[in-house]
Amino acid sequence: MPSTAPTVALNSGSPKGQAGLDAAALKREFPILSRTVNGRPLVYLDNAATSQKPQAVIDAITGYYTDINANIHRGVHWLSQQATGQYEAARESARRFINAEFLEEIVFVRGTTEAINLVAQTYGRTRIGKGDEIVISHLEHHSNIVPWQILCAELGATLRVVPINDAGEFMFDEYVGFLNERTRLVATAHVSNALGTIMPVREIVATAHARGIPVLLDGAQAVPHMKVDVQSLDVDFYTFSGHKMFGPTGIGVLYGKSSWLNSLPPWQGGGDMILSVSFDGTVYNKPPFKFEAGTPNIEGGIGLGAAIQWLENVGIERVTAYEEDLLAYGTAELLKVPGLKLIGTARHKAGVLSFTLEGIHPHDIGTILDQAGIAIRTGHHCAQPVMDRFKVPATARASLALYNTREDIDDLVHGLDQVVRMFR
């Protein structure tokens, strides 16, 4: 079934991309990108692991600690009121960013991993039983595999895995055949972290819903690169992490339809997730607070709010167009390197270039590039089943963000040419 995602056309386009985004100017807003590594200017191409942070985000976090540091939701004093206001403003920013209908649908968590585990331990334990099935894809990050494996082992349920083709694309016809009266949940990535494949999520959700099956989408690799509208997708649960989208680590979002969040039990017990407590029993708070026990990552929430506002000011549609152009340029240039093979050639991709070099281990590639100040990721990328599918132990992965430029790609290609010369 066709995806609604944009197709990457293999043409070089203009230096600033179709949207006229000035990546070189944006790069200057990120202090770390002006530094040198091993005596060379840093070329940072590990954005799928974590993105760098603009000064606006750094300032927001510093401002919290220097000006209003206090616990939230509890105090009547001025500092607590200010901190609470900024933290809850960040929740509103997240709601607006993904177009959730209600503020109560935005639950702050540590990141995508915790969000998926939260759903597994609340929805999973109350809606899934022996003989039931959960459907995922072969493209998943370990965070969207292991929680379901644990749940299935405990409950006697079955995990079913939709295959991918040689291009790294989700096999939609097989997916349709997997859905049956025992399917209780579909959980897939929106974008593959290992290959960059953009999944046909609109069709995945619609097909599951036609059979009364809820859907969770792992959006960690989607939200920094494309517009996400959870109401338009009609998805039941959507997750993402702050640190992948220019925000701090240790903060993320679980979106859940209010109908689900109101019906599910809390995950953890403690302060702030209650309305009243006695030794005879506890009355739980309403969502989202029902799922946010204890003192949260306050500075992380405020930093995430700043990152969202910064990204909205840049314009997510402009980012998408620019990165499409940069991916096309990078794909064409990498294919000029002797012995290089791209792993993951889906028609619809985000800015991930996973590759191998004939006869050279990816770790050696990464080590030599690091000596030239070029940061890429090597290994299985927390997606070992993907590596097994392509019969490779690991890949080298260059992943793009809005501050990367064609010059970064050129430096990468020059570095890879040096790697080839050294080993041959």
Domain range list for the chain: 23-34+315-423, 57-312
Query: What span, in angstroms and rounded, lies between the C-alpha atoms of 308 and 310?
Result: 5
pLDDT at 56 over 60: yes
pLDDT digits (tens, 9 = 90+) for 140-149: 999 999 999 9
Query: Rounded distance, CA 365 to CA 380, Å?
Result: 14
Active-site residue (options: 58, 293, 382, 392): 382
Supply the pLDDT for residue 79.
97
Q: What is the pLDDT of residue 12?
A: 32
Q: What does the DSSP 8-state code read for residue 198?
A: B
pLDDT at 251 over 70: yes
Residue 1 has pLDDT above 80, yes or no: no
What average pLDDT does this structure show over 390-402?
97
Region label for 359, one of left (φ > 0), alpha (ψ between -120 and 50) or beta (otherwise): left
Report the C-alpha gap between 50 and 256 in whole angstroms: 24
10 Å CB burial of residue 137 (0-12, 13-18, 19+) is buried
CA 142 → CA 112, 150, 165, distances in Å?
11, 12, 20
Per the CB < 8 A criterion, the answer to whether 235 and 328 are in contact is no
pLDDT of residue 266: 96
Q: What pLDDT sits at residue 11?
A: 31
Backbone angles phi, psi at 198, to 5 degrees: -90, 120
Superfamily of domain covering 23-34+315-423: Aspartate Aminotransferase, domain 1 (3.90.1150.10)
> Which of the pair, 15 or 95, is modelled with greater confidence?
95
Q: Give the chain's mean pLDDT.
A: 94
Output the pLDDT for position 74: 82
d(CA 83, CA 67): 9
23-34+315-423 against 57-312: fold identical: no
Mean of pLDDT values over 81-101 = 98
CA distance 240 to 253: 5
Percent of the chain scored above 90 by pLDDT? 94
Integer Cα distance of 341 and 48 in angstroms: 20
What mean pLDDT do residues 218-227 have? 98
Q: How many CB atoms lie within 10 A of CB 151?
A: 22
Does 152 qualify as catalytic in the annotation?
Answer: no
Does residue 15 have a pLDDT over 60? no
pLDDT band at 424 (very low <50, low <70, confident <90, very high): confident
At a CB cut-off of 8 Å and minimum separation 6, what does 279 contact? Answer: none
Q: What is the pLDDT of residues 112-149, one digit of tens each?
A: 999 999 999 999 999 999 999 999 999 999 999 999 99
Establish how many alpha carbons lie within 13 A of residue 133's alpha carbon, considering only the half-sphere containing its beta carbon: 14
pLDDT digits (tens, 9 = 90+) for 33-52: 999 999 999 999 999 999 99
pLDDT at 391: 96
Confidence of residue 13 (pLDDT cuts 50, 70, 90): very low
Statement: residue 171 has pLDDT above 50: yes
Q: What is the DSSP code (8-state) at residue 197? A: B
Q: Which CATH class is domain 57-312?
A: alpha beta
User: Mean of the pLDDT values across residues 214-232?
Assistant: 98
Average pLDDT score over residue span 161-183: 98
